[in-house]
Structure 1
Amino acid sequence: MTTAADPRIAYRVVAPAPSFTHLTRLTDDTGLFEHARHATVRREHGYCTDDVARGLVVTSREPEPSPVVLELAECYLGFLTHAQDARGAFHNRLGHDRRWNDEPALGDWWGRALWGLGTAVARSPAPWIRDEALVAFALGALRRSPHPRAMAFAGLGAAEVLRRHPQHVGAASLLADAAVAVGKPDPDRRWPWPQDRLTYANAALAEVVIAAGHAHADSALLTKGLGMLAWLRDVQSRDGRLSVVPASGWRRGGVRFHHDQQPIEVAALADACATAAAITGDPVWDAAVRHCVGWFLGDNDADAPMWDPNTGGGYDGLTRHGPNLNQGAESTLALISTMQHARRWS
């Protein structure tokens, strides 16, 4: 294991512009299909709120969206408002037959839905999207999940709402509660993480603490979040490149595997480091984002590009034998999200 590269010597990456071609291929007039075989949509698996919410995040982040991207954002917003019940919870799984396969609940999809809605409130150039997203966000923000990651995702949405509406009481309360839900770091410097196991989208936990510390002018909380993120960045650096925790996770004191790395881990780290860079101005965080971009372009444990330039799709995982060539929604959204951050250097 090595520490993060010195930002003064960080390699320069030439990142492609975010492409929405494959995302458009995966989307119909209802929502975003979850799975693909190579680049071909697998409609039989239906849609999920998790992915649609991520879709609303990346389409809302586009500073000058094309008509196609704006249509995608409208579609994803419509899906989320349809998934939400009268008490603010969300369904997650919709079949291709347009029937929900579950009951509304407060799992990760609730948190991601609020993240997508909050991002639309803060960043969409379309006022009708911003207005409708705020209504749905405010309803969902009345609820609290018992799951730390769900709360972290929701808190990121709340931080976005506060960018446009600094006095929004519901968003401020949700963001504060999300930081508390993450938990306190362990005093052991070898594992200063609030939990005994790293699982998925780990960097989102650090990011929401950073965002809460910044929004509430709490320097101790900001320092806590930055410390969490610095440790996570360092333990996911190997031989000068990014090597994220695999799908099986990594338990404190356990064996660390390096195969079956998921693009969502890279995207979560890129998001968190971009937030840290924007708040602190420290170039070390820009260097970390470059490593995330580089992972998709082939600077990873398999020396293999993790996307298909012919389709614009992201590959579903990095196995011990190379990329999983399926190009599902989650991996494609992770690719787009990470490449959006590369605009900082264009």
Structure 2
Amino acid sequence: MKVPEPNFAHLVRLTDDTGLFEHARLAVARREHGYCTDDVARGLVVTSREADPSAELVRLAECYLTFLNHAQAKTGAFHNRLGHDRRWADPAGLGDWWGRALWGLGTAAARHPVPWIRDSALTAFRLGTSQRSAYPHAMAFAGLGAAEVLRADPGDVDAAALLSDAATAVGPPGADPDWPWPLPRLTYANAALAEVVIADAAARGDDTALGTGLHLLAWIRDVQSGPRGLRVIPAGGWARGEERAGRDQQPIEVAALADAFATAAAVTGDRAWEVDLDRTVAWFLGVNDAGAVMWDEHTGGGYDGLTAYGPNLNQGAESTLALLSTLQHARAKVPA
């Protein structure tokens, strides 16, 4: 199966001089829905992973970084929703968007090749680390940003404290071997919880905690495996004892698995995790329950979900970034 190179054309299409439009009708941006910090932060993660970005991709990173600086309050919290009228629709808070903002800022601070972008991102990241969220997913996303900073600077005290707190926020594994997940319900981007436990354990050199994180990742992988490839948790989630829906599978769930598999492979050196990473790429290329390709090769956009009737052909920011992120990991794999 030939894996395509990341195509940023649709990301460019969804971005104006303010930020990244959240939704699209097919490949056309829906301006009336405005922007959200969640997606802009994801955009900064993806653009910062490019080691040799074009001038256009640098412009996107600059735009996303500026948006996040504007979204951040003096407390370190973030607004999430900005209307096309450039007015915030919510107070600054510590939900998932705070965590993803720190993920984006931490990635830019650690990886972006432009020095002023790294410096500005690190300043905003440090302000954000003064806060902690009550939500495990938000803490996990923030912890992944902290892990990025620590890889670049292992002595960063603020990042180490945030990463440790993020792993603690995930909670201990469940006692039931049939449901070791630390939460009673699987929702969205589930693998990020296992990934932050793995990242924290690796940073501290804790083999026991690393084993726990890898076990959680293997379990969430197995739970999301089907006869035709990945069968990820659909929108709406799933808990034991419930009937599990087979469709409305979300690309963000596949991308979270790809992120976690890439981290597990890097930490352990075990190529088996790269085989799992191949399965996430394959899901976008049609190895899924519907046998449906989940991206538009003409626009570069990712489809918004896998429904009972095939792909949702709208190409919003979240799904497009999920596609790009997964393809970046595939490109970065060490040749066998």
User: Structure 1: how far apart are the matches of 2:21 and 2:226?
Assistant: 34
The residue number in structure 1 matching 2:62 is 74
Q: 1:226 aligns with which of 197, 214, 229?
A: 214
Q: What TM-score results when the alignment is normalised by the length of structure 1?
A: 0.95
Among 130, 147, 162, the alignment partner of 2:150 is: 162
In structure 1, how many angstroms separate the alpha carbons of the residues matched to 2:328 and 2:2? 13
> Match for 1:281 among 269, 276, 280?
269
Report what 2:202 is aligned to.
214
**Other-structure match for 2:241:** 253
Query: 1:59 offset after TM fit, Å?
Result: 0.1
Cα drift, residue 99 of structure 1: 0.5
TM-fit CA distance, 1:253: 2.1
2:71 to 78, 83, 99: 83
Aligned AA (1:53): A
Match of 2:289 in 1: 301
Q: Percent identity?
A: 69
RMSD over aligned Cα atoms: 0.8
Conservation of the 8 A alpha-carbon contact between 2:301 and 2:315: yes
1:18 maps to what in 2?
A: 6
Measure the CA separation in 1 of the matches of 2:242 and 2:193. Answer: 21
- Cα distance in 1, alignment partners of residues 327 and 222 from structure 2: 21
Q: Quick one: distance in 1 between partners of 2:278 and 2:96?
A: 28
* 1:187 equivalent in alignment to 2:140: no
In the TM superposition, residue 109 of structure 1 has moved relative to its aligned partner by 0.1
2:127 corresponds to which residue? 139
* Structure 2: 5+ residue stretches without partners: none
SS in 2 for 1:16: coil
Q: CA deviation at 1:280?
A: 0.5
Structure 2 CA distance for aligned equivalents of residues 165 and 131 of structure 1: 13
Q: Which residue of 1 aligns with 2:82?
A: 94
Mean Cα displacement is larger for which, 311-320 or 246-255?
A: 246-255
Matches of 1:236 and 1:96, distance apart in 2: 37
Deviations 1:202-249 (A, max 9, x none): 000000000000001111111111000000111111115111000011
For 1:278-309, what per-residue CA distance to the aligned partner results, in whole angstroms no more than 9, with x for missing partners? 11011110011000000000000000000000
Q: Which amino acid letter does the alignment assign opposite residue 41 of structure 2? A: A
Q: Counterpart amino acid of 1:200?
A: Y
1:64 matched residue in structure 2 = 52
Q: Could you tell me which of 36, 39, 42 is aligned with 2:30?
A: 42
Residue 329 in structure 1 maps to residue 314 in structure 2: no
Amino acid in structure 1 at the alignment position of 2:282: G
Q: Distance in 1 between matches of 2:287 and 2:293?
A: 8
- For this pair of structures, how many residues does the alignment match? 334
1:345 to partner: Cα distance? 5.5
2:53 is aligned with 1:53: no
What TM-score does the superposition give when structure 2 sets the normalisation length?
0.98
Equivalent AA in structure 2 for residue 229 of structure 1: L
1:187 is displaced (CA, Å) by 2.0
Give the letter for the 1:149 counterpart.
H
Q: Is the partner of 1:313 in helix, strand or coil?
A: coil
Aligned to 2:192: 204
Report the equivalent of 2:226.
238
Moved over 2 A (4+): none
Partner Cα separation in structure 2 for residue 224 and residue 258 of structure 1: 28
Q: Is the 8 A contact 2:228 2:287 kept in 1?
A: no
Q: Distance in 2 between matches of 1:253 and 1:145?
A: 29
- Comparing 76-85 and 184-193, the one that deviates more: 184-193
- Displacement after TM superposition at 1:188 (Å): 1.3
Partner of residue 33, structure 1: 21
The answer to whether structure 1 residue 266 and structure 2 residue 274 are counterparts is: no
On the 8 A contact 2:258/2:280 being kept in 1, the answer is: yes
